[in-house]
Structure 1
């Protein structure tokens, strides 16, 4: 145990779109780390929140016709609920647009000003004459002044990856109206980042965490370190002290959210936030590798300049690929956490396991449904699940529970080795190695049970069989305690089958070597179910369909303007149909199996409208459907057509007058 108060944070999800697999690459390992440390007796607080400011949110809100606050709230709630569904348990999940963060950000900026680290300077900035406004950040795009690649206003996202200051981009164009922008003078405020060069070099040499974060940041600081513009011309954000026309740059107020969220947590729990940010607490940031620059250079310099403590460790994850392709929402290579996974009835535990065990935390993670299925079935079901169920089944069948026998030295030694390996791996941020050590213990248990064959031994030497079962149950207890940070739901169910009535999370990892109390056990059930081929095929088709649609958008320029020819329209067989019956699809929260009358022909259609209509609501209803859509299997059910609906709440397209089923739409 460290004996210090520990604070763990995750990079803040941006409230401009839904949660996907790339997000979970950071949050699941952080949750695993926190759960493990707590189970080792550490005093850990787990903090996160949503990032609500910046131009992308303003642009999206304008496109939707809502306020930036409304958009931010919608996605804040989405992330909050999604994390809970994934068993990611933050102690507090705040918003950077809440009053606490406005207050803390302005307080820290004032401290930087008072300490002489902020100055005003008039700079040339992009201005759109047509829109009549200055163009901050992502309102502008153009050419990177360093490498010549196409770039957005704040970063060369398609070329060298450099951070760009306001006014640096060449050939600026307004992203709103497409007009060329002109350069106009405007006053902004700069943070004297250049003065922290030597401090940062010394600080980074001692920074704990993953080497990719430390080495990347050291390279940048050694190469160059320019002063940093910390204001933007926006209405949405934290107002810069003393100015009504400028807000603080989002990469200032977003990380300050770590502090304000800690304050909010401390207020509701009666704790002191300064223990962590101004005392002897150790702060660990879990982030994606794309934001190392901000967390290892900007952030510690801001904290030092304002008189706060600095992070102890930065743990940066590798990026994500989908089917060996670069993760890309626009190209369809994305797996949405809810739509593509949780809403399909798949367990959070399986995905948590995959994210932690597939590769080293700093390496690139390649996701494919086929590999996901193979690993879930081979490792979770056949190795861990098989051992736990067999051991508990034999204990219940032959001894009615835990035999009154102490576990043997060999089994206890195997458990002890596993505990040591897991502890070293977790504290070294090698989460894959930690999971592998746990699964090696499960494999050892399987081999031990297979070699000793207690189902045979009990017929000739009941005492020897009792020893085998006692050893197996002790390994099962150790595995349950160790696997809880990886798969909390399954561990809870296994713990109950071990005859325990409380929560497994309430017990220390070290109890893995404490013998179980002799006595009865409930009849066990298998912990895990295999992922069948037909189910995985549906998931694979969802992904491939998205990729195909993205490719079609790329190759059909007319879709950008929404224009199609009359010939294109004529290829669609749109008809009126009447719903004959409807029922929920077992295992899915979104899908209904619907039978429609299409004018003397009955069709089966699978439709994702279960969240908005009950089966009883639909029977007898006239709907509009595409009748010549290529058949597809969804959740293992053949769907021959598509019922049309509008908007986020799936408002069905219904004829105003009664029309015979089968009538064509013209």
Structure 2
């Protein structure tokens, strides 16, 4: 990974406005947020931009079913999504919508630039058509019998029972999922982005294999799609849909709309443009082809194709900047299995909060599992309870609770300056570059392991010096030597706790604020590691910083998600 710029635009994939945020989604937003918060602590000019993905047939049909307009639907869902992201401390600088005037303008601008570059072509294609609803049907809205295993009620592109993929025309006894009518075949003119053009192929071969430091797994997957020089593997991309459709009409093509996957990634720019206009930033300086800024996308591996082929090609030939890199992550399983509504493991973000669980528990657990690869990760609920209670309560919080009371009671909360260069503290501070490098590389699991190893060393120090025994002796004999020893041990312990809190702040931002208030210190930044506690700022009495996870909470969460089916 090349050195980071001091000006960085970061995005997560845009959640579709046709459903709730669940814990599988949260893997990505938490991963992104931790990275962004770390870089903010290093004083980078970094903007984290998000938006709801709002267009397409499913939105239109759901709004019809609820007897509301699509706009009313997406406005309602936007509020729900924003609530959930706020609950999990996802710190977007701006959270917009793809159904915005900025996005409409930019989508049209990019399309017209591609058209001027002779990269848009009109073709007649045959599609499934619902004669009752008088609309063309996307593959997922055609159902029927699987041609391979003969399972009933399977989608038009794949069978959920045997895993076979096929064309909607291969389905046996097909029917419209919208009206139940038998689809007919009908020809329509569609607009295609000519991804097979030699210019696009040459650019994408270089962008995916040479000039962009994609993850190894992503680079290999891209190689399968772009092929070797001289091969022609890329097909043209259908970027239009027929009315009725909820979306943006294509300029100069009445009754034709941009396919949702064209204007959705443009939504990154649309949302950022709205932010720039509110904050007097020069939008063009960030998106121009010669920009010196960085742009990083965090996505799930299932949408790698769109973000590493279609999106960079659109940008390149619309004379806009391409992504600096695309970071993909794996899928989430729960207790080793796919999330399931029947087992209550298809867990929504809101139910997690409503069941009384702390969002920072999940942030910590995901951080402890995440690395910079495309590997899947598992939320093992028993391990979740054990790890949060053991690591955060037993190893980390326990450090403060074991020493703060002695310092407040015996020394008015004042630390001992001469103890602040104890070898243990020198060692903890020296690890800051190592911790920072792991955060920057998105190796969060390694980061957490390193921090917990440091916490272990602090607990060994506390157990070896036994401040409770010193305090007991001091009560019996008020000697200056014992006072000095007790104040010294408590000072080292609380300074170590402060350093660990800095290292954990990107993961546990709300807890970090509580630590700042407890220790009576300014807002912690990365360089704060080298600015120790001060005799002139006595710490405050210790207050409860975090509670334990109880098994009953998990039981309540699973039950809540079973009943919400």
| Structure 2 counterpart of 1:208, from 209, 213, 217 | 213
Change (3 A) 1:332 1:68: farther
Higher relative contact order (CA 8 A, sep 6+): 2
Pair 1:259 & 2:269 matched: yes
CA distance in 1, matches of 2:457, 2:159: 51
**1:47 Cα deviation after fit:** 0.3
Pair 1:421 & 2:434 matched: yes
CA distance in 2, matches of 1:454, 1:299: 59
CA distance in 1, matches of 2:204, 2:86: 36
| Structure 2 counterpart of 1:276, from 266, 274, 286 | 286
Unaligned ranges ≥5, structure 2: 475-480
Instruction: Kindly indicate whether the alpha-carbon contact (under 8 Å) linking 2:104 and 2:248 is maintained by their aligned counterparts in 1.
Output: yes
Change (3 A) 1:328 1:213: farther
Map of 1:360 onto structure 2: 371
Change (3 A) 1:187 1:221: same
Map of 1:342 onto structure 2: 353
| Structure 2 counterpart of 1:521, from 524, 531, 539 | 539
TM-score between the two structures when normalised by the length of structure 1:
0.76
Instruction: Kindly indicate whether the alpha-carbon contact (under 8 Å) linking 1:50 and 1:94 is maintained by their aligned counterparts in 2.
Output: yes
TM-score between the two structures when normalised by the length of structure 2:
0.89
Map of 2:55 onto structure 1: 53
Q: Secondary structure at the match of 1:34?
A: helix
| Structure 2 counterpart of 1:232, from 219, 233, 241 | 241
**1:308 Cα deviation after fit:** 0.9
Map of 1:564 onto structure 2: none
**1:359 Cα deviation after fit:** 4.3
**1:119 Cα deviation after fit:** 0.7
Map of 1:294 onto structure 2: 306
**1:77 Cα deviation after fit:** 0.9
Change (3 A) 1:258 1:322: same
Unaligned ranges ≥5, structure 1: 551-666
Compare the two structures and name the one with the higher helix fraction. Answer: 2
Q: Secondary structure at the match of 2:350?
A: coil
Residues 461-540 of structure 1 correspond to what in structure 2 (within 5 A)? 461-500=482-521, 502=522, 504=523, 507-519=524-536, 520-540=538-558
Q: Secondary structure at the match of 2:272?
A: helix
**1:274 Cα deviation after fit:** 2.1
| Structure 2 counterpart of 1:399, from 411, 424, 443 | 411
Relative to structure 2, which stretch is displaced further, 38-47 or 451-460?
451-460
Instruction: Kindly indicate whether the alpha-carbon contact (under 8 Å) linking 2:357 and 2:553 is maintained by their aligned counterparts in 1.
Output: no
Residues 117-156 of structure 1 correspond to what in structure 2 (within 5 A)? 117-141=119-143, 152=155
CA root-mean-square deviation: 2.7
Instruction: Kindly indicate whether the alpha-carbon contact (under 8 Å) linking 1:385 and 1:526 is maintained by their aligned counterparts in 2.
Output: no
Q: Rg: which structure is higher?
A: 1
Map of 1:82 onto structure 2: 84
1:35-87, CA deviations, whole angstroms, 9 ceiling, x for partnerless residues? 00010121101100000001111221122121111111111111111111111
**1:276 Cα deviation after fit:** 2.2
**1:178 Cα deviation after fit:** 2.5
**1:254 Cα deviation after fit:** 0.2
CA distance in 2, matches of 1:144, 1:219: 28
Instruction: Kindly indicate whether the alpha-carbon contact (under 8 Å) linking 2:399 and 2:494 is maintained by their aligned counterparts in 1.
Output: no
| Structure 2 counterpart of 1:189, from 188, 191, 212 | 191
Pair 1:434 & 2:444 matched: no
**1:386 Cα deviation after fit:** 0.5
Change (3 A) 1:514 1:69: same
CA distance in 2, matches of 1:162, 1:319: 20
CA distance in 2, matches of 1:231, 1:493: 51
CA distance in 2, matches of 1:470, 1:261: 47
Map of 1:623 onto structure 2: none
Map of 2:477 onto structure 1: none
| Structure 2 counterpart of 1:27, from 29, 35, 42 | 29
Map of 2:478 onto structure 1: none
1:607-659, CA deviations, whole angstroms, 9 ceiling, x for partnerless residues? xxxxxxxxxxxxxxxxxxxxxxxxxxxxxxxxxxxxxxxxxxxxxxxxxxxxx
CA distance in 1, matches of 2:112, 2:341: 39
**1:20 Cα deviation after fit:** 0.7
CA distance in 1, matches of 2:553, 2:360: 17
Instruction: Kindly indicate whether the alpha-carbon contact (under 8 Å) linking 1:15 and 1:72 is maintained by their aligned counterparts in 2.
Output: yes
CA distance in 1, matches of 2:463, 2:337: 41
Map of 1:447 onto structure 2: 460
CA distance in 2, matches of 1:9, 1:368: 28
Instruction: Kindly indicate whether the alpha-carbon contact (under 8 Å) linking 2:355 and 2:553 is maintained by their aligned counterparts in 1.
Output: no
CA distance in 2, matches of 1:141, 1:107: 36
Pair 1:388 & 2:400 matched: yes
Instruction: Kindly indicate whether the alpha-carbon contact (under 8 Å) linking 1:10 and 1:47 is maintained by their aligned counterparts in 2.
Output: yes
Q: Secondary structure at the match of 1:326?
A: coil
**1:96 Cα deviation after fit:** 0.4
CA distance in 2, matches of 1:331, 1:184: 42
